Amino acid sequence: MKALRVTGYGTLEDNLEFQNVPVPTINNDEVLIECISASINPHDTKLIRGDFKRMEKLKFPYPIGGDVSGVIVKKGINVKNFEIGDEVFGVVQGAIAEYESVNAAQVTKKPVNLSFYEAASLPIAGMTTIQALQYASIKSGDKILIHAGSGGVGSFAIQYAKAKGAYVYTTTSADNCAWVKTLGADVVIDYKKENYLDMLSDLDIVYDTLGGQYTFDAFKIIRQGGRVVSILPSEINKEVAKELGIPPFMQFVFSLRKSKIEELKKQKNAYYRYFFVNVRKKEDLNEIKELAENRRIKPMIEKIYAFDDSKQAFKDLAKGHAKGKLVIKIK
């Protein structure tokens, strides 16, 4: 079968190639999916660049692409809740391939009202947001800032926070301001022209999709007792090291370092959490399915690329200006 593979660490141009590889085998708990569509995430481009090599060394050639939709063509004997022919979506390692195997816990039935391309755009951005806003204990009436509302994560997050009854502030640049309003954002701030730090205060939640200095600055605009949830790290403290899977001894070393986040948390009596999405939370996938079927969430796709153009999709994503999700049409 034809599959996109990472051949080494470095540039997208030199380290991604299509290979002819055997169709994956499955164990008793897995299903084999005939992939119809995939979508890509910044994590994929970071993986190829080698950003995570200190935590986990990849064995090349390495399968790439997380978000998938397709049809179950084989199942293990322990898999009870799927039949051959079921249309599913979820998270695999190696979505940009004709077939991929995965533990049955990582997929669920595709929303009936969505195309395979739309369904493939949702899992990682959606699960990340559901988990982030659970950590943030979002509730109706909360004032939340969602950074980068026009990105893959942000465009889901605006809709999700509105579905939860929150009042949504978001940042993006001029070309996307009107568009993120149509997703439900109450106030849109053009980050290239305006300083959101001068405009916002007393927020209940900051959903920090940018990390670095943005994380530290989040504490300036939350109320006393507010919540900050980050999906990119700002400093490697003990909790972040644990979440990133850094070995226990190094976690201990990081725990000895002075933490700026701990200081900021204390000053604002705030809750802070950095986390890495748990792709095994099937209840989150089920929630995405329900939200889509109830039309509370609409998939936001900037472009659908042909299978052969997958490399171009990664290059476009790496520019950092996606408007919603970039999707690959495998079949």
Contact between 276 and ligand NAP per CB under 6 A: yes
Shortest separation between residue 89's beta carbon and ligand NAP, angstroms = 16
Quick one: which of 101, 128, 237, 310 contacts ligand NAP (CB under 6 A)? 128
Instruction: State the amino acid at position 105 in one-letter form.
Output: A
Comparison of 69 and 155: residue with beta carbon closer to ligand NAP? 155
Contact between 1 and ligand NAP per CB under 6 A: no
Residues 6+ apart with CB under 8 A from 79: 28, 29, 30, 31, 104
Comparison of 220 and 321: residue with beta carbon closer to ligand NAP? 321
Q: Cis link prior to 123 (omega < 30° from 0)?
A: no
Interface map 160-199 toward ligand NAP (x if CB under 6 A): -----------xxx--x--------------x--------
Contact between 126 and ligand NAP per CB under 6 A: no
Residues 6+ apart with CB under 8 A from 185: 146, 149, 158, 168, 169, 170
Q: Which of positions 13-52 make contact with ligand NAP (CB under 6 A)?
A: 41-43
Q: What are the backbone dihedrals phi and psi of residue 208, each rounded to the nearest 5 degrees, phi first?
A: -95, 100
Tokens 């391309």 — which residue? 117
Interface map 195-224 toward ligand NAP (x if CB under 6 A): --------------xx--------------
- Give the Cα separation of 314 and 157 in Å (integer): 22
Shortest separation between residue 179's beta carbon and ligand NAP, angstroms = 10
Residues that bind ligand NAP (CB under 6 A): 41-43, 124-125, 128, 147-148, 150-154, 171-173, 176, 191, 209-210, 231-232, 276-277, 317, 320-323
